[in-house]
Amino acid sequence: MPSVAVVTGANSGIGRAAAIHLAAQGYEVYGTVRDRTRATKLAAMSAERDVEVRLVELDVADDGSVRRGFDEILGHTEGGVDVLVNNAGVAGNGTLEDTEPGQYLEAMNVNLCGAVRCCQAVLPRMRERGSGTIVNVSSVVGRVAALAQSPYVASKWALEGLSEGLAQELAPFGIRVAIVEPGVTRSAIFAKSVDVPDRTGAYGDHYRRMFQMYAAGIAHATDPFEVAEVIHHAVTTDSPELRYQVSWGSEQLIGGRERMTDAQWLSLGAAPDDEGYYARFQELFGLDIRPAG
């Protein structure tokens, strides 16, 4: 009997790639989507690779939807879920002063509480079995407070803390927790994340520099199937780690922040103009994010 994997947010990007890749490795895969009718590309890509991803309508932001979705999944599986990939997420641009508290709550509800809801749905059977893997897809911004993305950063830092604590909680039960920290990956999330609140008009430099970093990253963006391969490795390796970096900028940004002092971090924010910011960014992280030409 094949192992059962659930991938949330399977309709696009990393989630779609992870669902298809795990199915190709022989898993019985359930991909959660908010609307089955919009999963046409997932269906087409699955058919191209001759694999099956079983669709389940589920909104990780809603208690009842998660309960109904996992009732459906568990009703089709004898031993429960072997692998849960918490991938569903939303972005969130804005500096703190520009951002309404509700935007933080929305990001937290999806990126943090969505993972909590799904974990709680699968853990009882994992504990009974004494095995299982939970992969939480975080982000490079879960380790580095990316400029002008305060709600997104806060939610991913929270997910990192949750995951680190969860790994200790579940260690006695033989359940593995892995945190995957992608940098810039080809995904629809970037096309959906082009707005900024800019209520005060004081942070135009911040937004411009943030978008320029992503523009530089998108030019070298990693195929989401590379992230899917890392997820599969995290699940199957005999030498598991807690954290995995992958995609453009992840190792450089996380490693750069770990090496620098807090004073150096603040000096980046204090750069007086764009060229000074880009030069300091390259000095600290080893990444040239200047506009082309």
Active site residues: 152
**Alpha-helical regions (H) of the chain:** 13-24, 40-48, 63-75, 101-108, 114-129, 150-170, 188-191, 204-218, 224-236, 250-259, 262-269, 274-285
- Greatest extent of the chain over all pairs of C-alpha atoms, in Å: 61
110 and 60 Cβ atoms separated by less than 8 Å: yes
What do you get for the CA distance between the two ends of the chain, in Å? 55
In sequence order, the β-bridge partners of residue 28 are 4
> Which amino acid, 269?
G
b (16+ CB within 10 A) / e for 267-280: ebeebeeeeebbeb
